Structure 1
């Protein structure tokens, strides 16, 4: 049963589809938006029946998709705002200071309507009983023919940019910071100035690619993250530690000298967006070209590296819930990842101590250089020879401190938490909150959860 707020959004979705679709085209539109129609006679009731179990975030994603498909600005914007609920906003104060930084030159070398029309329906905005002129016509009058009439702050007010969704405001910033708009020293200076303003709300403009050698910028959440880019992932260990060497030490290209059958090595570049499950599956399909179902084959190979029921439960719940929800935007949950690689066997060391915590139970590489470590603690984490050990515990928390100071996030579960009644709900609550914290799947770029779909790994 939908609550009143969700019911109002579901009704808006239903009215839009009723007015824009025939009975024949309605099922395809619903499928594209991420839900299945229910049993009813009218188009409106079929939609409402299909949405009756949807949560608020799912409704927001559906609204955003339908609004985009049918050029319904208000519905799309409502969906974006719902998806962003509970996340740090870009405040009106920050948006006004950004407008002041642009002054009278928002679009740079681009045409102002070229920048705005993909984001706002300016041809239909502004037309009213008193004024018969559209916002497009007013912008031409006050920013093109008379370029000092309106500055960016005035324009933001006319557009509603002070209160629009964060994702729409981000797209505006990315458009006016594109190399087609401004480049070179001026773009770098302005990006630095904007970042000083944005950082107050926890955001920044980051390099997102280049055009003809000039940088483009994308809006990102500020996370401390880890300095440097990941270069090699050695993971999914199922046996003795492999022996590694450098095929090319200059390029940091590694080669497995022995034990290759017991681990995997992902050596592709990892972008600022992190590592996605779809990217890991693409890599695996090249390693195993004869596999018909690369995703299933990789999932089974990764699961084989998990020794405890707690680890297996966390892994299974993650993919069962989030793979159908996030689809191609699902972050890869990478098990048994080597962090410190000590080439020596611990028992053979005499002249020095071994590296602590050579392996992590799970690693997520999330956007903005965030690296999340998940540990499932069994008895061996705080005991030696089956007896409680303060030195063992001290070693563990010391290693935690070092990782956090390097920018990693660490979350620990007791193994008993992840088995039995309540384990699935606990795991889902954790990942829901983690993904909200890092903005995973919240901007409408990921496919929405498919209401009523069967999860499969």
Structure 2
């Protein structure tokens, strides 16, 4: 797959003229090709590609494919990116086809559903013409004009759906259960039947919004997010714990009674897409009129307790703020998880809640909550001596978080300082983003 991808990208670039090669790759994909002086086109292209990792080459391919509507190039890039993830097997794909029977598109035409994702004519047909019916014509005839001539299993074989990338197959299923194709009980029953099969490989069609009152479904890895909707984020604590009361207990509206200056409270609705940095910046601009992203970043850094935490926070924004832009998830420091009121100190037979605060929290789409902890010696010692009790409390709290649906990742503080720290941090976030499909 990697050799095929390199060949496709190389061929695309080598087919450009020198002037086009100097402009188009940088404009479309940010790829700088060396100047032509003293270089042949082959040498220029080889120099531009030689230091790219396989993932970088695949991302480059996706950008060119999107700009040129190049399905084979898009496929090659996606297959490289998907190589490290669980496969969607041909067995599962055939079972999916059999569930759909002889009706992929429902109320829509079959060609309308598939032509965005699969080429229905070859370049040779378009250039030289064809004496026989094209694949497009055959699909119209055997799937729409004469239903039952072809099954969906036959169709998948014709268009290459048994061997295509998982992303392309998933996009096809999203269209098959789109409200324009199926609605009401038929949509619900089809999704349930497909999910029973898809779950064997670790995938599902999950509701991800609605249109005109009808559910929309997206194809994704099976995930178990945290139940409920976030209602109050108390974070960026930089001093004494604030005292909090309910302004309206029915609506879960809180009010800070004292210590307001020591933390921030984000109380806007957080939807299925999670909380993005751009949304946090917009909120901050209203809370502190005239403030911008830089001032918000400075305020958040005030809550960081160690050099290791500051390194992780700074590297995150340095590495991904420009790369992800509006899609960058917010990285929230010092977030309260459990909240004991001040009065707890006066109560007998009442232990304070463990894991009062999390070092960092990310709220991703599909109710995924990512906890990142930076462990100094206080996480496993007491009075500078190793303590099994302190360690036991920590791992017990981790278990409870995981059972509630959170993902918990720990760094030793020593990992985040000195040489190699930045590479270690970016490697973690790259893998996390790939796992949660943040960087496609």
Q: Given the two structures, how large is their TM-score scaled by the length of structure 1?
A: 0.88
Q: Which residue of 2 aligns with 1:278?
A: 278
What secondary structure, in the 3-state scheme, does the structure 1 residue paired with 2:409 have? strand
Q: Equivalent of 1:392, from 390, 393, 414?
A: 390
Question: Does 1:39 pair with 2:32?
Answer: no
- CA displacement, residues 249-294 of structure 1 (integer Å, 9 cap, x when unaligned): 2222223232222211222332333322233223223333413xx2
Conserved 8 A contact 2:103-2:143: no
Cα distance between partner residues in 2 of 1:26 and 1:15: 16
Q: Which residue of 2 aligns with 1:169?
A: 169
Structure 1 residue 137: deviation in Å? 0.5
Cα distance between partner residues in 2 of 1:226 and 1:133: 52
Cα distance between partner residues in 1 of 2:212 and 2:385: 63
Cα distance between partner residues in 1 of 2:247 and 2:24: 51
Q: Which residue of 2 aligns with 1:231?
A: 231
- CA displacement, residues 147-187 of structure 1 (integer Å, 9 cap, x when unaligned): 11111111111110111111111111111111111100110
Greater relative contact order (CA < 8 Å, ≥ 6 in sequence): 1
Cα distance between partner residues in 1 of 2:166 and 2:4: 22
Q: Equivalent of 1:404, from 393, 402, 405?
A: 402
Cα distance between partner residues in 2 of 1:275 and 1:47: 40
Question: Does 1:159 pair with 2:159?
Answer: yes
Conserved 8 A contact 1:90-1:201: yes
Structure 1 residue 125: deviation in Å? 7.8
Q: What 5-or-longer segments of structure 2 have no aligned partner? A: none
Conserved 8 A contact 2:205-2:217: yes
Structure 1 residue 21: deviation in Å? 6.8
Q: Which residue of 2 aligns with 1:201?
A: 201
Cα distance between partner residues in 2 of 1:63 and 1:26: 17
What secondary structure, in the 3-state scheme, does the structure 2 residue paired with 1:353 have? coil
Q: Which residue of 2 aligns with 1:325?
A: 323
Structure 1 residue 79: deviation in Å? 1.5
Q: What 5-or-longer segments of structure 1 have no aligned partner? A: 444-457
Cα distance between partner residues in 2 of 1:307 and 1:17: 49
Conserved 8 A contact 1:221-1:368: no
Q: Equivalent of 1:30, from 20, 26, 30?
A: 26
Alignment of 1:38-117 (within 5 A): 38-41=34-37, 45-117=43-115
Q: Given the two structures, how large is their TM-score scaled by the length of structure 2?
A: 0.91
Conserved 8 A contact 1:222-1:368: no
- CA displacement, residues 64-120 of structure 1 (integer Å, 9 cap, x when unaligned): 111121122211211122222201221111111111111111100012111112112
Alignment of 1:252-291 (within 5 A): 252-291=252-291
Cα distance between partner residues in 2 of 1:16 and 1:145: 39
CA RMSD of aligned residues (A): 2.5
